[in-house]
Amino acid sequence: MLRILTLCHGNICRSPLAEVLIEAAISADPLLAGRVVVSSAGTSDEHAGEGMHENSAAILSARGLRSTHQARLFTPALAATLDLVLAADQANLRNGRSIIRMADTQPEIRLLRDFDPTAVGRDLDDPWGYPPAEYERTATEITTALPGLLAELRDRL
């Protein structure tokens, strides 16, 4: 079983949106379904225990996908259970690396958008505080990274 985690700051907008979109893509792939577990967390505990932001939840609900979520903090103990961490942006990549260094087992960490060949090295836009259209743009950025991510996951299995 391959375990991956999407990582952003507060775990209410980008990382839960990515978690569910990736989860849906994996479920639809016969080579990956049942072999990859996806979760999410944040590098800050300021939203721990909260649900997904309403705009992220609305995007997922409109697509018939799960919108339930409870924000949680990325910890060294959690990191030790993972194979791959997908950071939303450079700041969370740095913070995630710091947390991973304290883990007993250290997963690989990369930017989520590195799996989109046209966006390598670019941040996943943070829609927090912006209108719903920005959440849609973030969902599109996640979706364009899915083919590359799924190919990588198939190679790892």
Residues with catalytic roles? 8, 14, 126
Total residues belonging to the chain:
157
**C-alpha–C-alpha distance, residues 134 and 12, integer Å:** 15
- DSSP-assigned letter for residue 32: T
Q: Nearest Cα to 64, choosing from 4, 35, 23?
A: 23
CA–CA dist 64, 72 (Å, integer): 24
Phi then psi for 34, rounded to 5 degrees?
80, 0
Structure tokens at 105: 């087992």
Question: Rounded to whole angstroms, how far apart are CA atoms 28 and 24?
Answer: 6
Q: Is residue 146 a contact partner of residue 112, using CB atoms and an 8 Å limit?
A: no
